[in-house]
Amino acid sequence: MYLAFALVPEKVALLRGKPLARALRAALDASKQSAEVDEAGDDVKVRFPGAAFDVHPEEGKHVLVESADLAGQPKIRSKKGLADEVRACARRIEVSGADDPQMDHFNEYLSVVQALEMALPGVLLLDPREGEVI
């Protein structure tokens, strides 16, 4: 399963629904990636041939608690400024996709993550399972 967190610091606007879909669509178009981008409430689905990725904004105390846990991971903790930024984030956007054991759709996954970074400059992209920056 693909999973990435884009932690959203207070200085960055947390987009949801249509604004998030528009921003992702523009970023994917700018990088010449052909994908369908649809919103469903606050969430966005990005579809490529054979693969789909969910983009889900979240905020609240549970995100802050999980951010503090991530900040304690060795690869993040070793970078003091980064650890402090991660620890302070109570907002994030999750990118997830189905199991892909052969990694046939890894490039599409990276396209979505990079589009999110382009659409929301200043987000902190992390792999929550590895506890490291993407």
Instruction: Decide if 65 is inside a domain.
Output: no
Instruction: Decide if 122 is inside a domain.
Output: yes
Instruction: Decide if 66 is inside a domain.
Output: no
Instruction: Note the pLDDT of residue 106.
Output: 95
Domain that holds residue 104: 2-60+89-133
Q: What is the number of domains present in the chain?
A: 1
Instruction: Decide if 115 is inside a domain.
Output: yes
Strand order in the sheet with 124-127: 36-40, 43-48, 51-59, 91-97, 2-7, 124-127, 132-133
CATH number at residue 27: 3.30.310
CB burial string 80-104: b at 16+ within 10 A, e below: eebbebbbebbbbbbbbbeeeeeee
Instruction: Decide if 70 is inside a domain.
Output: no
Using one digit for the tens of pLDDT, what is the confidence trace for 38-89? 999 999 999 999 999 999 999 999 999 999 999 999 999 998 899 999 999 9
Instruction: Note the pLDDT of residue 55.
Output: 97
Instruction: Decide if 25 is inside a domain.
Output: yes
pLDDT tier at 34 (50, 70, 90 boundaries)?
A: confident
* Residue 3, helix vs strand vs coil: strand
Half-sphere exposure of 33 (CA within 13 A, CB side): 22
Instruction: Decide if 98 is inside a domain.
Output: yes
Instruction: Decide if 75 is inside a domain.
Output: no
